[in-house]
Amino acid sequence: MIDLIVFSVGTNKYAVDIENVQRIIQSTVLTVIPNAHEYIDGMMSYEDKVIKVVNFRKLITLDPYDSELRTLFVRLKDTHKEWLGALKNSLETGMDFKETLNPHACELGKWIDSFTAYDDSVVLVLNELLDYHKQLHVLGATALDIYAKNPTEALDFLNKDVMTAYRNTMGALDTFVLELDLVANSLQKLIIYDKNSEIFAVKVDTIEDIAHVEESQFINTSEEHSVNNFLELSGVLDLDGVLINVIKTVKQPS
């Protein structure tokens, strides 16, 4: 039986032997190292030492996390613009409104529910976004209720109250875009990696699970290979139908 820490970076999933993991901690603000290797994000204090932080996205040549967040926020704004358009169409034509009125069921609501912020300034923006977004969906439901009694009044309510909540929600999302570095730090995790007494941190997107696996669950073990000079894989793990790249070694760039 082998115990592995499973984590995700973008749409990719990886696993590392738990024996090489000292701790998993929240990402933090780092001190920049002048002329550092391109894979190094900076350095940080850890217990009684200073250690470097390796960005796993850079190891596998994936776009920066803040770029992915920026794309996400653009999509979230677009989907709520479509939501508002569908609501307006329903109030103008009487057609059924088929979008969700549950603020936890849309993509933005699911993202908010999954997001845990640790920076105080990000918490303030998150709480503001949470309130505005919930209000938007509640007022949308109210507009539909009003329509059943007075369609003209429902459109007036849409143009005033619902539009105000919509603009506030979009404004809060724009604030997140301005704070992408802080938001990314609130989401990403640091794996304190220790192998052969070399200790450093590896920045990843999300910690998925601790997997207890048998060697029989490994497939393509003959595909052991080096991704580059700093990352070596030992094969692929089939975990409940999900393929996970198993890490043999991560090396710290000098």
Query: Domains plus CATH for the chain?
Result: 2-62+188-250 (2.40.50.180), 65-183 (1.20.120.30)
Query: What DSSP character marks residue 106?
Result: S
Nearest to 186, CA basis, from 206, 169, 172, 168: 206
pLDDT score for 240: 83
pTM over 0.85, yes/no: no
pLDDT of residue 228: 85
> pLDDT category, 85, cuts 50, 70, 90?
very high
Q: Token pair for residue 106? A: 């849309």
Q: Please compute the mean of the pLDDT values over residues 190-202 and round it to a whole number.
A: 92
Q: Please say if the pLDDT value at position 116 is more than 90.
A: no
User: How far is the C-alpha of 121 from the C-alpha of 221, rounded, in Å?
Assistant: 46
pLDDT for 74 equals: 92
Residue 61 in this model has a pLDDT that exceeds 80: yes
Query: What is the distance in angstroms between the CA of the first residue and the CA of the last residue of the chain?
Result: 34
Question: What was the pLDDT predicted at 224?
Answer: 58
In angstroms, rounded to a whole number, what is the distance separating the alpha carbons of residues 18 and 210? 8
190, burial (CB in 10 Å: exposed 0-12, middle 13-18, buried 19+): buried
